[in-house]
Structure 1
């Protein structure tokens, strides 16, 4: 099984409930959405075709048990479920970032699916798959990327549709970098008693001048 890989690197988890931990990232090529705030446009097309064993061999070199598959959108590639299965079989703790537009149950539920619910300012709200709300488990995470107050109100309304097992620790509110300040988002969350976690993109704090490999 082959996958097109944009980059594989070892860094600090910048997002999710695992923020701050060392992690190996496998960024796959390709995405079916074009969000207004996308910061990984370089992963739309560029990449190298690799077999799953080749990917596993490169991951092993980092001696790290936490692996995140990201993109782009990992689920646009047919080989992603195979990669997840092989990583789980090798006793890795596996995370997968996904934009929420495709069936997340294509991958094993032992993988923690970090699923976006697209807010209006993304321009891709219509692409959210409502069926994914029923596929979420207590092992998953949900992320709202918020660019303005309308996005915040949308995310607030969506909270009632999420499994109670995810609230509050595994639901993430993240401000669009350069568009909405984290302190503004924090104030909205406090004022409305939001039962969710404020997420700051840690990798952008540590390496503000780097776009890749972090």
Structure 2
């Protein structure tokens, strides 16, 4: 059983799959409290669902892509790992969005891990589980959510020190309504960074409406 806050069908708003019709399986609960969090509603609530019931609901949408997210899905790690493997076994292309505070060991190799590295501006820098960087695969992605120019400079330095862009794709994303997307684009171009600069498509389309 997993505590599920919601399962819904929408367009992927982030990652390399941006714009793709995707089924989102949002798990309840998160050990972090990032200052810019836009899914605090998923910290509590939801209902218990069996893996079979989750798979049936996912199948009803007829989508190719499935994103397991939160909250923090690895807060329910044992059953979350089982869910990820079952989804892959059923032929879905699966991604996992994780805040990076919990070890990513044991995740099915077929799953694309979207690892969110917390910046100083997030308020949760100390919770980064740095060993996760050693487990990155070519089909994974690293995401930096940037609150300021200082966050950008910090992320740029970390990326260079660990050669992160040689491990997998790196995404720089501005905090909605806090860092101007055009400013971030200018910084990336000026520094010639090998990153994907990204804004959140779902917020452009639907604002900050939950469940989109």
Deviation at 1:105, TM superposition (A): 2.1
Distance 2:139 2:38 in 1: 26
Superposition map of 1:71-90 within 5 A: 71-77=70-76, 78-90=78-90
Equivalent position SS for 2:105: helix
The residue matched to 1:79 in structure 2 has which SS? helix
The aligned length equals 209
Superposed displacement of residue 165, structure 1: 3.8
Give TM-score, length-normalised by structure 2: 0.96
Q: Distance in 2 between matches of 1:79 and 1:153?
A: 37
C-alpha distance in structure 2 between counterparts of 1:106 and 1:45, whole Å: 26
- For structure 1, the residue ranges without an aligned partner over 5 or more in a row are none
Q: Is 1:29 matched up with 2:28? A: yes
Hey, what's the Cα distance between the residues in 1 that align with 2:90 and 2:39? 29
Deviations 1:76-115 (A, max 9, x none): 0031000001001111100000001111123112100000
Ranges in structure 2 where 5+ consecutive residues have no aligned partner: none
Q: Which residue of 2 aligns with 1:212?
A: 210
Structure 2 residue 190 is the aligned partner of structure 1 residue 188: no
Alignment of 1:54-69 (within 5 A): 54-69=53-68
Alpha-carbon distance change, 36 to 153 in structure 1, aligned in 2, over 3 angstroms: same
Match of 1:171, SS state, is strand
| Cα distance change on mapping 1:93 and 1:31 into 2, 3 Å | same
From 157, 164, 168, the equivalent of 2:166 is 164
